[in-house]
Structure formats: C-alpha cells, structure tokens
C-alpha cells in the first residue's frame, strides 16, 4: 500500500553547469522522498533537444550532500559557530552600515555569481548601487570572458554570441581557438562534430593541446603560447593583401579600414611564422580556408582571453570575421563560449562596475536618470572596482568590506596566496554559498544559499537565450535562495524591498533595460525561450546584426590592435609553460562535482599532463608524484603522460582537489579588463619520492 502513495514529480530546469544552456525535466520522488532525483529527462530544450553531457545527466547529487551549508555561520575568536538568520543578518547589516558610515560607500564591494539567476544578479547590483551607493560590483566573468566581450564591444557592439548554436552547426567553416568544447561545452561540441562528419563542415583548431576537437580537425596547429593575435593578424593581412577581402561588405558595413590596414603592416607571414612557430604554408592554408568558405564562424574561450592581450586577441578575431564578411548571415559570426551556466546573465544584468543592466554605462546620463527615478535614489556615476581592483584596494587600504556571492574566489582568482592575504585584511567579509568553500575560511559570516534545483528564476546561456528554471525541491535545512538573502541584507541596510517571487524582480528589471524589455515569465513558460535583444512585443533575436551593427550609424568598426608578448617567459629556473583548463567530468574548482559520488569515482585524483617528450627527457612516468613551483607558489600532484600536450608545456586541470592551480598563477592581467593572465605562468617540476 505504501507504494501507492509514492508520487513522482516532473519539473523543468536548466543545467547548473556550463553556458550551453541545456534544459530538461528532473524527475524526483519515489521511495527516496521529495529530494530523491530519479532521472534527468531531456527532450524539448532549445539548445540540447535530447542530449545532455555527463554533468547534466548525472551531476546533481551534490544538492543532497552532507556537506551542504544549512545554517548561517558566524566566526567568533577564529572559530565558526552556527547562528540564526536573525543574528547573522543583524550582524551583516550592522557591520556594513558601520563601515559605510566610517569610510563611505566605496569601502564596500559586492561580487555576484555566474551560478546565480538573472534576478539575483540584478538584485545584487541594485543593493550595491541603490542601497549602499557604490558601483563596486562585479562577477566572475572577470575571470574568463570579459576580454571576449570587450573585443565584441569594440568591433560589432553587442557583448554576446552573434547567433545561435544552430548557426554554428550550419556554418561551412568553424575555427576553434583556445577552447576545448568537447570537454567544456560538450553538447555544443556534439553539434560541431555532427556537422563536420555529416555535412562536410570544415574545422580548424588552434590550440596548445591536441584535444578531441583537435584530433577531428581538418587543420590543427599549435602556435607558441600567447601568440594567437600574431598569426590571426597575419592571416587577415594576407587575405586583404591578396585582394580576397569581402570589399562589398566592408564598404557597406564597416568603418576604419585604412587605419586598420596600416596597423597590420608588421604582421607579415614571415614575422608570424617566426613568432608563432608556424610555417608560412600553414598560415596561407588557413587564410585560403576563410577565402573559400561561403560562411565561417570562430569559437574561442580561455586560451585566448586569459592573457595580458586577451581583449586584443578577441578583437583580432572579430576583425578577421569582418574582413571576410562573416557577420550578419546565418552560419557566420563570433562565438565566445561562456563558461558558467549564467556567466552571460551575470554581466547582462549589471553585476559590473561600469555598467547598468544591458550594458548601459553608469555615467550615461539618460540611463542614470532612469534608474534614479525607478529606484528613488541618487546614484554614483563613477566606475566602481572590478574583482581584481578590489583585491588590490584591500591591500591599499581603501576597501574594507566584501559581500561575495557563490564563488570560491580564493581558488578561482589567480595567485591564491595574494587573494587569501587580501581577504585576511578585510574588516568584514560575508560569503554566501552552498558549501563551505576554501574562501569561506576567511569569512566573518557565512550565509547558506540554495542551488538551482531549489529555486525559481531565469538563466541566460551562451547564445543569449533566456530560460526559466522551476523549483524542484524545497531549500535544504535553513538555506535560502540568494534573491531572498540579498533582499534580507538590503532591508537590514535600510531598503524596503518586498519581492515575494523572482517574477516580480524580472517584471521590474526588464522594463528598465533597452535590451530585455519584452522579457516576461509568461513568455518563458515551460520550455519557451527568448534570445536578446527582446523587444517590448516579445520579438526576440536569434541572429544578431541582420539589420546593421550595434553602433549609432549601424556600421561595425575595424579596431587596430597590437601584440602583447606573454608576461612570463621561460628561463633556466622556470623552464616549463603551465597551461590549465577544464576537464569533462569536473566543473571548475570541483565544489559541486566532487560531491557527486558517481562522477567523483571516475577521476579521483588531480594530475599534471606531461608530454611524452618531456617524460622521456626526465624519466617521468604516469602516477609519479611531483612538485610544481612557480614564481608565486607551489602544488603537489601526479604525472599523467599524454600526447595531448607537447614539448615543454604542461597542463593542470582547474580542479586539483584540496589545492588550487591558482597557487601557481600570478597577478598579471589583461590590459583592458583585468582578467587574470592565467595562461601566462612558467613553472619548474621537481620529482618526489613515490608515496
Ligand atoms: Fe550542462 Fe553544459 Fe553538459 Fe549541457 S553541455 S548538460 S549545459 S554541462
């Protein structure tokens, strides 16, 4: 009879892992109760249809992990103790108020999470701007995709993918630079694999590692680390010089050709061949692929962006697409592959120091006036601090308090020792998360949040696609959805917010923005989606730029850029180049996937990938323990010999268990956006006795 009472529930959600934005139904219930996940059933998702990857399919049991934070924690005499919400919120409100009264609003800072919903990022920046009075608000896209957004701002206007994943699939030529989509964006990679195999799509891969897409490519090459701008500019120059640029397109749609052409003068094939370690024939071959292709798109990620010249290389990518007329049509365009599920949305919704939601500048008088009227306050028009500047400002003594939502910043930011040292200097530090992350050890108050399955809201995927997630289960223990906690904190600081559901937040927020005006929960019911810009009548925009570019005259802009050599070079002491990135099974620092037993068993150890050449030269074997030292720190891990890496380059996954790859990385950043140059680190390796 008991079996008859068992109820199974089916709820639509959106994947909490990568930016592809797969959506599917979650079945819960059965004998295991309301929190028991029976299965994940894809079917109607706009991005994924019947597919998911291993993380989307099996990666959810972390929600029931015994490690979940279920009650607020307050640090007292160096030790955390459990506290009530009332006590924790009173303390947060009081300390933030005191610090603001003593040092001014700019002594406080706020960081939103790419794991949070759009509504939550909107609220956090509203808390910073309207309640506290500072533009010191940012999000973790600072660590990954800000340079890509910058490259697009400079050239075509919108900081988003030019089209949809279906556009990538129908392109005649796909070039992937510094990205590993088969592991980092698996379902999107499947579309490319299929198009390549079945439709004769051409595939070029430029990467340091011979990963799965590289093995499948028609042309694969390994430029010297940090030289992508050079070969890309040489290819572009060659196309222009040989009269193969799409001049009709340029004359009609792009400004600034002459200055740009002049800026390319140093980028001869000979120069690029020398700097990048590539043959002139190969460069000509790449150019010819672009000349011959009726449509082409370029996909890129951290291999491009996490350099001192990350914004400039992203700009060079867009310049190449403009020269070859590869915008404005299906199958063309620029596709920065967004990392987290809502990295696009966190920036879109204004968790950025210089922008209101939908990328209106904080010093734009019209935008400022609109928000001042809507929020009933006077706003600051001076740009705030980004994540990187916040850490520096702590050391300089200007920044005293931080409210960090859903990010293990100690492990995720570069140079963990520097970041941790900064946290120790904060007068008051609040961390909100679902687990006690490595960052929490520095907090004064830890607030327990609820993951995606425990709340309603919307996410925006890499293809600018809004999708709704529905609450599958109740928040665990005393944990709360971030939007509720942010509202509670705001109200302790004198606001009088009364949101009872995320739909009310979206109803307020969308109408304030030019790009998301027509976004409503009704239009996103179930599996319905909208790709921004969304007009008031609900018309959305799967393909950007069909009627011109996002500048006042409707024309794109060539933007001249110069090469910045990598900030760290190899020398006698630090003789190996450290690369780092994702792996399929685990997500970033592993805080979620380590707590999914099935996934965890597959890859229980961290490792460093070592090339067969290096292994041979140093007598290294898979499984051997080594110390990696950089100029900034050290880690201990195990060797994994593989031909995915080459020569004196080694690769470490982002997740190294209890350690962080960022104990090794330094403080150099992209010149424009301050994204850490994670990919510019020299190390040395010391063999350890077996353990
Ligand atoms: Fe989730 Fe990305 Fe995998 Fe899709 S491809 S299931 S969005 S991790």
- Asked if the model's pLDDT at residue 419 lies above 70, the reply is yes
Please report which confidence band the pLDDT of residue 24 belongs to, taking 50, 70 and 90 as the band edges. very high
Q: Is the pLDDT of residue 54 over 90?
A: no
For residue 680, the model assigns a pLDDT of: 83
Mean pLDDT of the region 659-667:
80
Residue 655: the pLDDT is 66
Q: Which atom of ligand 1 has the smallest separation from the CA of 48?
A: 4
Give the number of residues written for the chain. Answer: 691
Verify whether ligand 1 is closer than 6 Å to residue 656 (CB atom): no
Q: Rounded to the nearest whole angstrom, what is the distance from the C-alpha of residue 15 to the centroid of ligand 1?
A: 6
Q: How far is the CA of 487 from the centre of ligand 1 (A)?
A: 30
pLDDT value for 451: 96
> Which residue's entry shows tokens 């009088």?
496
Give the mean model confidence (pLDDT) for residues 493-498: 97
Ligand 1 binding pocket includes 186 (Cβ within 6 Å)? yes
684 C-beta neighbours (distance < 10 Å), count:
18
Mean pLDDT, range 507-511, rounded to an integer:
97
- Residue 614 predicted with pLDDT over 80: yes
How far away, in angstroms, is 574 Cα from ligand 1 center?
A: 37
In the structure encoding, which two tokens stand for residue 360, read together?
A: 């209106």
Q: Does the CB atom of residue 344 touch ligand 1 within 6 A?
A: no
Interval between CA 586 and ligand 1 midpoint (Å): 12
User: Among 251-260, 455-464, 651-660, which stretch is predicted with the lowest mean pLDDT?
Assistant: 651-660
Span from the CA of 584 to the centroid of ligand 1 (angstroms): 10
Q: Looking at residues 611-628, what average pLDDT do you find? A: 93
CA–CA distance, 442 with 20 (Å, rounded to integer): 33
CA–centroid distance, 543 to ligand 1, in Å, is: 22
Q: Is 22 helix (H, G, I), strand (E, B) or coil?
A: coil
Rounded to 5°, the CA angle 380-383-387 comes to: 125
| Distance from residue 553's CA to the centre of ligand 1 (Å) | 38
User: Which residue from 614, 633, 615 is spatially nearest to 623, judged by alpha carbons?
Assistant: 615
SS3 163: coil
Q: How far is the CA of 19 from the centre of ligand 1 (A)?
A: 7
Q: Are 143 and 676 within 8 A, CB to CB?
A: yes
Quote the pLDDT of residue 1. Answer: 39
Which of ligand 1's atoms lies nearest the C-alpha of 53?
A: 3
What is residue 255's predicted lDDT score, i.e. its pLDDT?
Answer: 98
- pLDDT value at position 404? 97
* Beta-carbon contacts of residue 336 (< 8 Å; ≥ 6 apart): 145, 148, 149, 152, 161, 299, 300, 301, 305, 314, 462
pLDDT in tens, 71-93: 999 999 999 999 999 999 999 99
Give me the domains of the chain, ranges plus CATH numbers. 2-64 (2.20.25.90), 73-142+341-513 (3.40.50.740), 146-337 (3.40.228.10), 576-687 (2.40.40.20)
Q: What is the rounded average pLDDT of the residues 302-314? A: 91
Residue 40 main-chain phi, psi, to 5 deg: -110, 125
Cα 181 to chain centroid, rounded: 13
Task: Give 13 Cα–ligand 1 centroid separation in angstroms.
Answer: 12
Q: How far is CA 235 from the centre of its chain?
A: 28
In the predicted model, is pLDDT for residue 150 greater than 90?
yes
C-alpha 62 – ligand 1 centre gap (Å): 16
Q: List the residue whose alpha carbon is closest to atom 6 of ligand 1.
A: 56
Q: Name the residue of 48, 59, 168, 189 to mutate for ligand 1: max ligand atoms within 8 A of Cβ.
A: 48
List C-alpha distances in Å: 157 to 14, 154, 557: 28, 6, 9
Q: Which atom of ligand 1 is nearest to the CA of 56?
A: 6
Q: Report the share of the chain in percent with pLDDT over 90.
A: 77
- 20 C-alpha to ligand 1 centroid (Å): 6
Alpha-carbon distance 597 to 620, whole Å? 31
Determine the atom of ligand 1 nearest the C-alpha atom of 21. Answer: 7
Q: Could you tell me if the CB of 47 is within 6 A of ligand 1?
A: no
Contact assessment for residue 249 and residue 208, using Cβ atoms and an 8 Å cutoff? no
Q: Print the SS3 string covering 502-545.
A: HHHHHHHHHHHCCCCCCCCCHHHCCCCCEECCCCCCCCCCCCCC
Q: In this structure, are strands 659-660 and 681-687 parallel, antiparallel, or unpaired?
A: unpaired
Over residues 40-64, the mean pLDDT reads 90
Choose which residue among 54, 114, 187 to substitute to test ligand 1 binding: the one with the highest number of ligand atoms within 8 A of its C-beta.
187
| Pocket of ligand 1 contains residue 189 by CB under 6 Å | no
For ligand 1, atom 3: residue with the closest CA: 53
So what's the pLDDT on residue 2? Answer: 47
Cα(542) to centroid of ligand 1, in Å?
20
In this prediction, residue 669 carries a pLDDT of 85
- The number of beta carbons lying within 10 Å of the beta carbon of residue 428 is 20
Per residue in 550-572, pLDDT tens?
999 999 999 999 999 998 889 99
Do 427 and 495 contact (CB within 8 A), yes or no?
A: no
Pick left, alpha or beta for residue 295 (phi over 0 → left; psi -120 to 50 → alpha; otherwise beta). Answer: beta
In this structure, which residue's CA is closest to atom 4 in ligand 1? 22
User: Is any ligand 1 atom within 6 A of the Cβ of residue 48?
Assistant: yes
Over the stretch 466-490, which tens digit does the pLDDT of each residue have?
Answer: 999 999 999 999 999 999 999 999 9
Asked whether 53 lines ligand 1 (CB < 6 A), one says yes
* C-alpha span between 299 and 179 (Å, rounded): 7
Looking at residue 583, what is its pLDDT? 62
Using the mean position of ligand 1's atoms as its centre, give its distance from the Cα of residue 17 in Å.
Answer: 6
Ligand 1: distance of its center to the CA of 536 in Å?
30
Residue nearest to atom 2 of ligand 1 (CA): 18
With a 6 Å cutoff on the Cβ, whether 187 touches ligand 1 is: yes
Tell whether ligand 1 has an atom less than 6 A from the beta carbon of residue 15: yes
User: What CA–CA distances, in Å, run from 395 to 84, 389, 427?
Assistant: 32, 10, 12
pLDDT confidence of 414, banded at 50, 70, 90?
confident
Overall average pLDDT of the 382-395 stretch: 95
Q: Both ends of the chain: CA-CA distance in Å?
A: 55
CB 659 within 8 A of CB 606: yes
Inter-residue contact 382 to 368 (CB < 8 Å) = no
224-233, 261-270, 446-455, 679-688 — which is least confidently predicted?
679-688
Whether ligand 1 lies within 6 angstroms of the CB of 123 is answered as no
* pLDDT computed for residue 632 by the predictor: 87
Nearest-atom index, ligand 1, CA of 57 = 6
- Ligand 1 site, residue 56, Cβ cutoff 6 A: yes
Q: Backbone phi, then psi, for 518, in 5-degree steps? A: -90, 15
Distance 48 CA to ligand 1 centre (A): 8
pLDDT at 325 over 90: yes
Do 660 and 410 form a contact (C-beta atoms < 8 A)?
A: yes
Query: What is the distance between the alpha carbons of residues 649 and 62, in angstroms, rounded to a whole number?
Result: 34
CA distance 658 to 635: 10
pLDDT of residue 126: 98
* Alpha-carbon gap, residue 609 to 653, rounded angstroms: 9
Percent residues over pLDDT 70 in the chain: 95
Which among 14-23, 123-132, 189-198 has the top mean pLDDT? 123-132
> How high is the pLDDT of residue 598?
64
CA dist 137 → 113, 119, 354, 386 (Å): 11, 15, 9, 7
- With a 6 A CB cut-off, is 607 part of the ligand 1 pocket? no
Q: Is the pTM of this model over 0.80?
A: yes
* Residue 55 near ligand 1, beta carbon < 6 Å: yes
SS3 138: strand
State the average pLDDT over residues 496-522: 97
pLDDT classification of 340: cutoffs 50, 70, 90: confident
Task: Report the relative pairing of strands 333-336 and 296-300 from DSSP bridges.
Answer: parallel
pLDDT digits (tens, 9 = 90+) for 217-274: 999 999 999 999 999 999 999 999 999 999 999 999 999 999 999 999 999 999 999 9
Match 């928040």 to its residue by tokens: 475
Predicted confidence at residue 557, as pLDDT, reads: 98
The answer, yes or no, to whether residue 662 has pLDDT greater than 60, is yes
Ligand 1 close to Cβ of residue 449 (< 6 A): no
* Whole-number average pLDDT of the chain: 92
Of 16, 319, 274, the residue nearest 151 (C-alpha): 319
Task: Give the pLDDT of residue 219.
Answer: 98
Over its C-alpha atoms, the chain yields an Rg (Å, rounded) of 24
Of 13, 19, 20, the residue with max ligand 1 atoms within 8 A of its CB, to mutate for a pocket test, comes to 20
> What tokens does 524 get?
């996103």
The stretch 190-204 carries a mean pLDDT of 93
Q: Which of 39, 42, 52 to mutate to test the pocket of ligand 1 (most atoms within 8 A of CB)?
A: 52
Q: Is 181 helix (H, G, I), strand (E, B) or coil?
A: helix
Q: For the sheet with 8-14, list strands across it.
A: 8-14, 23-29, 37-42
Mean pLDDT value across residues 575-580: 89
Contacts of 66 (CB under 8 A, 6+ apart): none
Yes or no: say if 520 and 506 are a contact pair by the CB < 8 Å rule: yes
| 436 alpha carbon – ligand 1 mean position (Å) | 24
Ligand 1 atom at minimum distance from 47 CA:
4
Distance, CA 14 to ligand 1 centroid (Å)? 9
Reply yes or no on whether the pLDDT at 548 is more than 90. yes
- In this predicted structure, the answer to whether residue 580 has a pLDDT above a threshold of 90 is no
């Amino acid at each position: 009879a008991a079996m008859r009472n068992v109820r199974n529930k089916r709820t639509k959600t959106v994947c909490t892992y990568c930016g592809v934005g797969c959506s599917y139904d979650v079945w819960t219930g059965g004998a295991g109760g309301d929190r028991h996940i029976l299965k994940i059933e894809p079917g109607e998702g706009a991005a994924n249809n019947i597919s998911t990857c291993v993380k989307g399919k099996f990666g959810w049991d972390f929600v029931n992990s015994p490690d979940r934070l279920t009650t607020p924690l307050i640090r007292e005499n160096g030790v955390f103790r459990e506290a009530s919400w009332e006590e924790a919120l009173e303390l947060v409100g009081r300390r933030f108020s005191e610090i603001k009264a003593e040092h001014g609003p700019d002594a406080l800072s706020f960081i939103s999470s790419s794991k949070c919903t759009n509504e939550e990022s909107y609220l956090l920046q509203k808390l910073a701007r309207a309640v506290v009075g500072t533009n010191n608000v940012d999000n973790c896209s600072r660590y990954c995709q800000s340079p890509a957004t910058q490259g697009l701002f400079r050239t075509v206007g919108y900081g988003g993918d030019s089209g949809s994943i279906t556009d990538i699939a129908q392109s005649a030529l796909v070039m992937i630079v510094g990205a590993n989509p088969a592991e980092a964006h698996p379902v999107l990679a499947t579309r490319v694999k299929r198009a390549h195999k079945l439709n004769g799509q051409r595939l070029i891969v430029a990467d340091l590692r011979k990963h799965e897409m590289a093995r499948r490519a028609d042309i694969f090459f390994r430029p010297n680390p940090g030289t992508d701008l050079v070969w890309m500019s040489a290819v572009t120059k060659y196309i222009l010089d040989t009269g193969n640029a799409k001049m009709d397109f340029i004359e009609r749609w792009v400004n600034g050709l002459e200055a740009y052409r002049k800026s390319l003068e140093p980028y001869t094939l000979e120069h690029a061949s020398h700097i990048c370690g590539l043959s002139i024939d190969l460069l000509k071959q790449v150019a010819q692929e672009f000349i011959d292709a009726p449509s082409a798109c370029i996909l890129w990620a951290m291999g491009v962006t996490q350099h001192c010249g990350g914004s400039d290389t992203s700009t060079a990518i867009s310049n190449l697409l403009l020269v070859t007329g590869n915008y404005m049509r299906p199958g063309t365009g620029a596709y920065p592959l967004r990392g987290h599920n809502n990295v696009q949305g966190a920036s879109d919704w204004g968790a950025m120091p210089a922008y209101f939601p939908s990328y209106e500048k904080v010093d734009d008088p019209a935008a400022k006036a609109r928000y001042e009227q809507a929020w009933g306050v006077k706003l600051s028009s001076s740009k705030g601090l980004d994540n990187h500047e916040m850490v520096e400002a702590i050391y300089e003594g200007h920044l005293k308090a931080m409210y960090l939502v859903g990010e293990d910043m100690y492990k995720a930011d570069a140079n963990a020792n520097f970041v941790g040292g900064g946290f120790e200097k904060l007068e008051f530090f609040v961390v909100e998360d679902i687990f006690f992350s490595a960052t929490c050890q520095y907090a004064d108050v830890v607030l327990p949040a609820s993951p995606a399955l425990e709340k309603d809201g919307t996410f925006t995927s890499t293809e600018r696609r809004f999708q709704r997630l529905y609450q599958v289960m109740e928040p665990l223990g005393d944990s709360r959805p971030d939007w509720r906690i942010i509202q509670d904190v705001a109200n302790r600081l004198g606001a009088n917010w009364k949101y009872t559901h995320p739909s009310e937040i979206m109803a307020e927020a969308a109408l304030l923005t030019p790009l998301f005006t027509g976004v409503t929960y009704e239009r996103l019911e179930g599996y319905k989606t909208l790709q921004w810009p969304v007009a008031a009548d609900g018309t959305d925009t799967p393909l950007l730029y069909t009627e011109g570019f996002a500048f006042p005259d409707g024309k794109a802009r060539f933007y001249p850029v110069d090469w910045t050599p990598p900030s760290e070079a190899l020398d006698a002491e630090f003789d190996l180049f450290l690369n780092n990135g994702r792996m399929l099974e685990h997500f970033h620092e592993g805080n979620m996937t380590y707590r999914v037993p099935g996934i965890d068993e597959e890859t229980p150890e961290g490792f460093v990938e070592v090339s067969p050449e290096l292994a041979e030269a140093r007598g290294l074997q898979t499984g051997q323990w080594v110390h990696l030292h950089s100029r900034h720190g050290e880690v201990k891990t195990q060797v994994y010999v593989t031909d995915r890496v080459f020569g004196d380059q080694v690769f470490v996954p982002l997740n190294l268990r209890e350690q962080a790859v960022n104990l090794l990385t330094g403080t150099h950043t992209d010149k424009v956006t301050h994204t850490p140059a994670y990919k510019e680190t020299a190390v040395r390796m010391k063999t350890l006795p077996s353990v």
